[in-house]
Chains A and B, each alone.
Chain A
Amino acid sequence: MGSIDPKASFPTSQREAELRWSQQLHRRSILRFGGLSLLGLSTPRLLRAEEQGRGTGNGKIPIRAKSVIFLFQWGGPSSIDMFDMKPNAPDTIRSPYKPIASSAPGLEVCELLPEMSKRMHHVSLIRTMTHKMKNHASAGYYALTGHEPPSDDQRLRDSLDLYPAYGSVVDRLSPGDPSLPTFVSYPYRISDGSIVPGQHASFLGKQHDPLFFNTDPAKDDFRLPELQLPSGVDLDRLMRRRSLQKLIDQQRRLIDHAESAVTLDRYYERAITMLQSDRLQQAFALDKEPAALRDRYGRHTYGQSCLLARRLVEAGVKFVTVYFSPSIGGQKTTEGGWDTHGFNNTRMYNIVDKYHMPITDRTLPTLLDDLSEKGLLDETLVVWMGEFGRTPKINDNVSRDHWPDCYTALLAGGGCKRGYAYGTSDKHCAYPAESPVRPEDLAATIYYLMGIDPATEIMDRNSRPLVIGGNPVYDVIA
């Protein structure tokens, strides 16, 4: 027997069977989720009917990733300086940093990522991410939803016409344990002048919004605000109030007939359960972690956010989005995102080497190790990416500007190949040389790994059926 072709590790017959099934969904009888019905049938009833046929996935595509940790690198990290280095490019293009070999043969990474270089055997890179949005807001929305924005606008205005976040779609199509939120996002709302769309459930309805908080997991008194009772109200007093409330509800008995009353009651039950739930409280109790591990992640907002992500996944949360920074940043060595243009006489290579690279080389390897040690990496997909990459050409500020035409997304665990790179960029990392991947294709890949058919349609507020994803990159699936 010869050596095993890594591409053949996914049995062809199974792949075909899955593919066929997914294509069958394309039929006109495709199940449509969400939004408003066509003939004015009551939506709740439709939902109920759908819910009956709904499990943790749709049962046909295997669930490879039970959970996803989406680490969003706001501002746009530079691929050519990190995971797709071009040592032979001219010095107007080439990174000032050198590539080093990694634990995955053939996958070199930046010399400033020595720890990451030892974990590349966990990783699948997609080196040919590409789109056309040059502004943060539009590109960010695209990256967070997998849906092309209506315009390339520096202040893309959020509206219910725009697409929901991945986690909201997951909550709609494949919700997790009802005693837990399906989708948690923190520790910031990201913005660039205005709040970036794509961070909530949009037209799917508020019930699919993430459990969002903007408190700092690195603070000693960190707790989920929702799980804190107002001062002067302990659990006993809350339960006394609750029993009075229940008594009132029993008088008119709206719950016997009204869908909205049933829903309301369910949320109260869920809220009370969450307040009492040891599991969720525990997930947020970062102080239960060994100090050494907390140190390994780094005692800062992002590091502790990544640790919290692991705890949430461990508890059973299906989709965790961690935003690297609230702003595009790029001008400081202490805070802010990856937007290193060299504005205001700053210099990219005096910033990323002091802030972005070290923080990345500390948190990401630690998260992969931690997930791996806990036996969670196989079933948890980690996605690390920004909204775009940066220009191949080094600008007059010895820095790089926005570049959506070709950039790298990093995937790990959750059923992805290990130590693998999909797609090849051209010699200057300017355009995909082959196999371009659009954000909707990456979205489809994420959904597919979670066992959700990427061809599923959800209805927007105009009753338009919209497919949730593009074409999965089957090739990165192990």
Chain B
Amino acid sequence: MHMPKDTGRWHVATWIAIVSLEVVFFSLWTVSIACAAEPLEPTKYISFSRNVTSALDKAGCNLGACHGNQRGKGGFQLSLRGEAPHEDFNSLLHGELGRRVDRLVPEQSLILLKGKGAIAHEGGTRFTESSPAYQALFAWLKAGAPAPSSEDVLPTNLQVLPEQTVFGAGESKVQLTVIANWPNGTSTDVTSMAIYEPLDPSIKVSANGLLEPTRRGTVGLIVRYLGVQKSLPLFFSAKDIASPTTTLSASTWIDEPIVARLASIGAQSASQATDDVLVRRLYIDLAGRLPTATEAQAFVQSNREDKYSELVDRLLASPEFVLYWTLKWSDVLRCDEKVLDPEGVKHFGDWLRQAVADAKPTDQFVRELLTSTGSTYSNPPTNFYRALRDPQTRGEAVARVFLGYRMQCAQCHNHPFDQWTQADYYSWASVFSGVDYEIKSNDRKDDLDKNEFRGEQIVLVKEVNLQKHPRNGQKMPPKVLEREANSLTNATDPRIDIANWLTANTNKQFARAQVNWIFFHLMGRGLVDPVDDFRSTNPPSHPELLDEMAQRWIDHQFDLRWMVREIVNSQAYKLSSTPSPETPQDEAFFGYRVVRRHAAEILADAQSDVLGVHLPFDQQPAGTRAIALRAGQREQRYLKSAGDAFLGAFGKPQRLTACECERSNDLSLSQVFQLMQGESVEKRIRDNKGRIRRLAERDEPLNDLISELYWTALSRPPTEIELQQATDAITAAGSKRQGLEDLTWALLNSQEFLLHH
């Protein structure tokens, strides 16, 4: 195996190989291997990794909050989680006048004395003399404190027993056994040295791997040992799971894995949502707006068998679908006025719209972005690079948006929860290091603002400027982002190789990340969640579904609308937000509809549609819809209009981070104040040109007016009691108009209106 000696780090290739082999080996290793695993004997094989790294790791010494901190702690620095054993060896042997390690009287070594709390240690007592960690360190010291050597290998994989992941009501405690399998075919039981990191405070794990959930449901647990980690999604059912449900049937290929997973825990999904809910859901997800009263009524009252799929097809073909899905792309591709300037935003925004309108296959779309050069005005995809001003930002954005990888951690140290090393990070950044700009003009509004550009720029490709590894200063050659990295052939513009590699039919990760992103937008949650955080320790909830979606999408030429259609036609999409008693609470089962606040633009437009009065946006013609705004949220200093202020308060992103997470669907007290008594709402409710006045002036039965308001705002008729109380309230109010205003306020402030359900 190739060992990159020059990186100064430890067995990069080994570690990379480990993770990739894990999948292969896992199916081969069986319980018989477990039986063959020898117990951990600290004295049997003395090695730096097994005795020191793993002991310091187990005791928590090398974590970021302790000596693993970039600056160390108390003058003693270790590499984060032991990723650089040679450096750790040096600071153990040579720091503190050599007192950390006493080869002659091992028990007098500071590392033991401080660790066991025998002398003052800020970090407190880390282990007792009888603990395996102490024993391992002591054995290493007695053996003369040997340095890390090339024979000092990492395990090929970890095996955690029992393999079962679903536990019934009777199982209140589970003892895990962790087996490390070594490259030479031997195995060791490392249960006592493995590290258990629950991802939920509701589960207790002892140092020796005894699990005790304090509530039933899903809990995540990461088990790691010497740089190899394994993520366990465990499910503790509240009932006896001896007999999984068999009565469920799946209606589409998307539903099969979802239903199978529910059945495996003896659960059921919610029932299907009613037509009034579905019509609202479809219009919002596919057209980015509420259905009108007429549209909602037409759907609900239609008896056509195919009315649902007919509506889906109609919405997919609508211009509003183009607007809404362009908005989603514009967020993550950073269509931001400050860097692109208003003209650039217009060109880029139009180009994105055209791509969605033309159903440009996503692979082609991404290739055009990644390989773009030329003027940001006449060749709009170059705006992608215009927004990303340095190689590292470009690398991070491409990995995140197109591959679903978050590389940021690997900028400063190997990614603690993923496969990525610092070498990977800087090699990847090198790919984008040749991009440069010819700034034709820069007429900044604010001379001192280096982040602002106004004027045409030409995106150029110059010679790559290899990025330096911060640990050893080595210049990192460009390579693709894979465990077994390929060298790149196109030396002048590695972006071309990267674009081809990234969008190739064989690169399943691209398809996985993209279908997951589409799935997230329609289902309220990704199979991998957050959508741009694919890693070994954050596995998909339904891996087989994700893979099948990816493959089928590739087979359908990366067609956005095809994928959207398949998802919205599934039973899972149509579920009610009300779980049945048999539906697991955990959203990741997709047993019921996830309920979230509407996006800022949807809410703004929905209010405008109900009130019949538009919100004004700065520098936009009157009547511009919020979802049609090309630019991201303006900076606060330029916020003048009620519309821009509303969108800001409700989380429209400024588009500074190429991350879906920048858009916020949080709820806050100040939002509620705005909805309750904000001028933009109250004024428009009372606007003389608005719907409410017109409604109040119509000489029709009150019931009809109330009903129309309900259909308009909530896509459903009022219930009997709602009708009665609304009538009473309107009659009791100072005037019919005031009464209708109050009802409108109540509708616009209702959970049903504000939440996507």
A26-B123, A209-B668, A261-B751 known; A159+B65 contact, CB < 8 A: no
Q: Select one of A31, A194, A230 contacting B446, CB under 8 A.
A: A194
A241-B746, A257-B592 known; A28+B672 contact, CB < 8 A: no
Q: Give the chain A neighbours of B452 by CB distance below 8 A.
A: 155
A41-B200, A260-B595, A268-B676 known; A20+B667 contact, CB < 8 A: no
Stretch at the interface among A110-118, A248-256, A350-358: A248-256
Residue-wise, chain B 258-292 has the 8 Å CB interface mask toward A (1 for contact) of 00000000000000000000000000000000000
Residue-wise, chain B 520-545 has the 8 Å CB interface mask toward A (1 for contact) of 00000000111001000111010000
Check A206–B651 contact: CB distance below 8 A. Answer: yes
A248-B750, A270-B669 known; A39+B745 contact, CB < 8 A: no
The size bracket of the interface on A is 35 or more
Check A254–B672 contact: CB distance below 8 A. Answer: no
Q: What's the Cα separation between A22 and B737 when bound, in Å?
A: 61
Q: Select one of B123, B199, B409, B448 contacting A41, CB under 8 A.
A: B199
Q: What's the Cα separation between A209 and B749 when bound, in Å?
A: 21
A40-B588, A41-B220, A230-B682 known; A257+B578 contact, CB < 8 A: yes
Check B60–A229 contact: CB distance below 8 A. Answer: no
Least CB distance from B69 to A in Å reads: 9
Q: What's the Cα separation between A193 and B445 when bound, in Å?
A: 10
Q: What's the Cα separation between A210 and B310 when bound, in Å?
A: 47
* Nearest-CB residue, chain B, relative to A259: B595
Q: Give the chain B neighbours of A37 by CB distance below 8 A.
A: 199-200, 220
- For residue B100, CB closer than 8 A to chain A, the reply is no
Q: What's the Cα separation between A24 and B59 when bound, in Å?
A: 12
Stretch at the interface among B294-302, B421-429, B478-486, B720-728: B720-728
A30-B65, A252-B757, A265-B751 known; A257+B579 contact, CB < 8 A: yes
A206-B651, A228-B677 known; A248+B635 contact, CB < 8 A: no
Stretch at the interface among B155-163, B237-245, B314-322, B652-660: B652-660
Least CB distance from B263 to A in Å reads: 21
- For residue A419, CB closer than 8 A to chain B, the reply is no
- For residue A100, CB closer than 8 A to chain B, the reply is no
Least CB distance from A41 to B in Å reads: 5
- For residue A189, CB closer than 8 A to chain B, the reply is yes
- For residue A427, CB closer than 8 A to chain B, the reply is no
Q: What's the Cα separation between A138 and B162 when bound, in Å?
A: 52
Check B637–A194 contact: CB distance below 8 A. Answer: yes
Check A252–B222 contact: CB distance below 8 A. Answer: no
Residue-wise, chain B 569-587 has the 8 Å CB interface mask toward A (1 for contact) of 0000000011100000111
Check A248–B722 contact: CB distance below 8 A. Answer: yes
Check A251–B719 contact: CB distance below 8 A. Answer: yes
Q: What's the Cα separation between A205 and B666 when bound, in Å?
A: 6
Least CB distance from B117 to A in Å reads: 9
Q: Select one of A36, A161, A257, A455 contacting B533, CB under 8 A.
A: A36
A23-B124, A241-B742 known; A226+B673 contact, CB < 8 A: yes
Q: What's the Cα separation between A155 and B597 when bound, in Å?
A: 32
A37-B200, A38-B199, A159-B654 known; A261+B636 contact, CB < 8 A: no
- For residue B670, CB closer than 8 A to chain A, the reply is yes
- For residue A277, CB closer than 8 A to chain B, the reply is no
Stretch at the interface among A282-290, A372-380, A460-468: A460-468
Check A260–B755 contact: CB distance below 8 A. Answer: yes
Q: Give the chain B neighbours of A263 by CB distance below 8 A.
A: 667
Q: Give the chain B neighbours of A240 by CB distance below 8 A.
A: 729, 732-733, 742
Q: What's the Cα separation between A206 and B448 when bound, in Å?
A: 29
A-B Cβ contacts below 8 A, count: 250
- For residue A1, CB closer than 8 A to chain B, the reply is no
Check B123–A237 contact: CB distance below 8 A. Answer: no
Check A462–B750 contact: CB distance below 8 A. Answer: no
Q: Give the chain B neighbours of A25 by CB distance below 8 A.
A: 65
Q: Give the chain B neighbours of A267 by CB distance below 8 A.
A: 667-669, 671-672
Q: Select one of A50, A211, A237, A461 contacting B661, CB under 8 A.
A: A461
Q: Give the chain A neighbours of B757 by CB distance below 8 A.
A: 252, 254, 258
Check A255–B742 contact: CB distance below 8 A. Answer: no
Check A247–B755 contact: CB distance below 8 A. Answer: no
Interface centre among B233, B530, B588, B725 (most CB of A within 10 A): B530
* Nearest-CB residue, chain A, relative to B597: A260
Check A209–B656 contact: CB distance below 8 A. Answer: no
Q: Give the chain A neighbours of B202 by CB distance below 8 A.
A: 49
Interface centre among A181, A252, A253 (most CB of B within 10 A): A252
Q: Give the chain B neighbours of A154 by CB distance below 8 A.
A: 448-450
Q: Give the chain B neighbours of A38 by CB distance below 8 A.
A: 199, 220, 222, 417, 537-538
Check A195–B222 contact: CB distance below 8 A. Answer: no
Q: Give the chain A neighbours of B745 by CB distance below 8 A.
A: 241, 244-245
- For residue B43, CB closer than 8 A to chain A, the reply is no
* Nearest-CB residue, chain B, relative to A189: B636
- For residue B664, CB closer than 8 A to chain A, the reply is yes
Q: What's the Cα separation between A132 and B487 when bound, in Å?
A: 41
Interface centre among B66, B670, B754 (most CB of A within 10 A): B670
Interface centre among B200, B539, B541 (most CB of A within 10 A): B200
- For residue A433, CB closer than 8 A to chain B, the reply is no
- For residue A315, CB closer than 8 A to chain B, the reply is no
- For residue A53, CB closer than 8 A to chain B, the reply is yes
Q: What's the Cα separation between A28 and B487 when bound, in Å?
A: 38
Interface centre among A153, A193, A241, A248 (most CB of B within 10 A): A248
Query: Restricting to A446-478, which residues have a CB under 8 Å from any CB of B?
Result: 455, 457, 461-465, 467
Q: Give the chain A neighbours of B201 by CB distance below 8 A.
A: 31, 46, 49-50, 53
Check A244–B538 contact: CB distance below 8 A. Answer: no
- For residue A19, CB closer than 8 A to chain B, the reply is yes
Least CB distance from B547 to A in Å reads: 17
A38-B537, A241-B745 known; A26+B63 contact, CB < 8 A: yes
- For residue B77, CB closer than 8 A to chain A, the reply is no
New A-B pairs, 12, CB < 8 Å, besides A268-B749, A467-B65: A24-B124, A27-B60, A28-B197, A29-B197, A193-B448, A194-B635, A240-B729, A245-B749, A254-B752, A268-B672, A271-B669, A271-B673
Nearest 9 pairs between A and B by C-beta?
A39-B220, A244-B746, A258-B595, A206-B668, A155-B449, A245-B746, A159-B656, A248-B750, A40-B529
27 contacts between A and B (CB under 8 A): A25-B65, A26-B60, A37-B199, A37-B200, A39-B222, A41-B219, A42-B587, A50-B201, A155-B448, A189-B636, A194-B446, A206-B667, A212-B670, A226-B677, A237-B742, A238-B676, A241-B749, A243-B725, A258-B577, A258-B757, A261-B751, A264-B597, A264-B755, A461-B661, A462-B408, A463-B406, A465-B65
